[in-house]
Chains A and B, each alone.
Chain A
Amino acid sequence: MNTGRHRSDFRRIRRGDIFDPLVFREELRHLFRDSWLFVAHESEIVESGDYVVRRMGDDEVIVCRSRGGAVRVLLNSCAHRGTQLCRADRGSATNFRCMYHGWVYDTDGNLRGIRHRRLFPPEVDPAQHGLAAARVATYQGLVFATWNTDGPDFTDWLGDMAFYLDALLGKSASGWVSVGDPLRWRTRCNWKLSVENFGMDSLHLDSLHANPIKLGVFGPGDAKPTSYTVTTGGGHGVTATKIPVDDETYPGYPTELAAEFSQRGTTAQRWFAANNIACKGNLFPNLSFIELVHDTTGDPDVPPIAAFMLRLAQPVGPTDTEIWMWILVPRSADPVWQRWSQESLVRTLGVSGTFEPDDLANAVSVSAVSTGARASDGEFLMFGGAHVQPTTEVNGHRLPGQVHIAPLNTEVLQREFFREWARRLPAIAGQR
């Protein structure tokens, strides 16, 4: 495999490497197995025994609130002979019982009962046969897990991105809640391209999304925003697109919430979180997020409204990805406002929206014509913003990471993402 002529700067990526089935297998084995992966929002598992079933790469896991109140992430496969323990999307359980031979596990994953115990040798120790348990970390209400027992702690892995997650999610004193259940849809594209499209790329806004923008989803379109794109290492990144106003405002949020937000975080964090028409990013490898303001989605009764969502691009195959979408709202927001915010996102970035279907059409088309024998030898070009010198101080605020200032976010985040992607894949890294 070859990562391109300019291997060190990731301005070019060989197309074949993106879609290579061997690379995909390596991604599952090394990248997804060893990374901290988002699995749930804490508001989905509030009570003891609550669980949801999720995926970590190609493994299915139970994410549950144990009897003791801790969040556990357990392989959804009986330690005896491998049967799936939970076969629903979510539920509540006092224990997990295998339908095959009746082995029973508690909500911490410990094996509590072997049926026909006397038929097994006395030396079989139940303490040695609990469910495989991942390391778990919760941060700002987000639950992450990893199988990597030797890797960095979550906070080390998150690094300077903590500053930005705190700015965006920590501004709500009461935290956030996930509305309803996650939306799910399949698309015929590679997970990496779905991530870069949603969590990183802004160049496509006035071309691929010219239609909804002309419909006024973002207002009259006369704002002259500036984008602050931050790389923090580890493949993570975030970009805030700000309107040029002097006051600290939180567009689209109710007055009382905006007042609350203006009391939270450091001065620099408030500067980053305020005055955004859109702020999006990605936690390596595949948890993307966006906060944005919808001027209208067609409902005449709804004012301009802010919305926040999480999006996972789950790998299914080299050209198959399953998208998961969580809609988050401030816990203390008025229920009517929460519903407006939810509905606005469904109508834009949901699978029935004015934006996501166009993104899907694009992503599918890239996969359709980039995997051929000739096309595979070609490259994806990511030069955008390569001439912009990064800084660490903006408007008197010291910001962690490298900040790239431009009228529009370019391809800075993609280069950092693919640098980390290549670093974590032995087959790719060995070529460099």
Chain B
Amino acid sequence: MTVIDSQGALANLAKLARVEAAYRHEAALLDANRLAAWYEWLHDDFRYEVPIPLTSEQYGEPRYSERGLLAVESKPTIALWIKRLSEGLVRSAYAENPPVRTRRFITNVRVHSDKAGVLQVSSYVLLGWNPRGEPPTFATGERRDVLVEHGDRLLLKERRVLLDSDVVHLGHLRIVF
């Protein structure tokens, strides 16, 4: 039994390490504004949502709007982001150009389930935002992801970002958490 448990724990650690490695790589790509490279790890059915945070009267978990969204994207709409930043158009992408310095810190990664190659993963994100001449602004939240095995790779199929601030204080949300 002990041997089996140890093997299970090792397998879970290996799984966690694999997910964390993917997240480290992802954060580095996004912080380097390499959106086209980041796009490569999106599943064809990718769905990205940032629901509107709400303060309710009920004690318990923080609540989020059932239908209200601060951001909603899919793989084809992200392709439009990449086109917006392409060589011929980037000069008129005024929100992103000149680029704001961002730094993503991903912590508290937890793999909740792994069934038939589909992983339910949650993580915390701290994003630092540094426009020219301004002190940094920070945003924090929880990411709830669905990752899918694809050969020897993982693909990002779903991401729901639960922001902690109910009002957006970053310069804009044309960024990926």
Contact = CB atoms under 8 A, between A and B. Distances in A.
Interface of A: 87-91, 179-187, 208, 210-212, 214-215, 297-300, 322, 342-343, 346-347, 350-354, 356-358, 360-362, 364
Contacts, number: 125
Question: Which of A211, A214, A351 neighbours the largest number of chain B CB atoms within 10 Å of its CB?
Answer: A211
Contact of B71 (A182, A187, A208, A352): A352
Interface of B: 50, 52, 54-57, 65-74, 76-80, 83-84, 89, 92-96, 166-169, 171-174
Contacts of A322: 167
Contact of A184 (B69, B77, B92, B167): B167
Given A90-B54, A299-B74, A180 B92 contact: no
B36 to A, nearest CB: 15
Best-surrounded residue of B55, B69, B73, B168 (most CB of chain A within 10 A): B69
Contacts of B94: 208, 211, 357-358, 361-362
B80 A180 contact: no
B67 A179 contact: yes
10 contacts: A180-B69, A211-B84, A212-B84, A300-B76, A342-B67, A351-B70, A351-B71, A352-B50, A354-B84, A358-B93
B70 to A, nearest CB: 6
Contacts of A364: 171
A201 to B, nearest CB: 15
Contacts of B167: 184-186, 322
Given A211-B84, A298-B80, A360-B172, A89 B166 contact: yes
Nearest to B89: A211
A187 B95 CA distance: 13
Given A342-B69, A352-B71, A184 B168 contact: yes
A215 B95 contact: no
A91 B172 contact: no
Contacts of A179: 67-68
Contact of A215 (B70, B71, B84): B84
B74 A350 contact: no
Given A181-B54, A350-B69, 17 more contacts: A89-B55, A181-B52, A183-B52, A185-B168, A186-B169, A211-B84, A346-B70, A346-B72, A347-B77, A350-B71, A351-B70, A351-B71, A352-B73, A357-B95, A357-B173, A357-B174, A358-B93
B80 A354 contact: yes
A90 B68 CA distance: 14
B89 A215 contact: yes
Contacts of B76: 298-300
Contact of B52 (A88, A180, A211): A180
A305 to B, nearest CB: 13
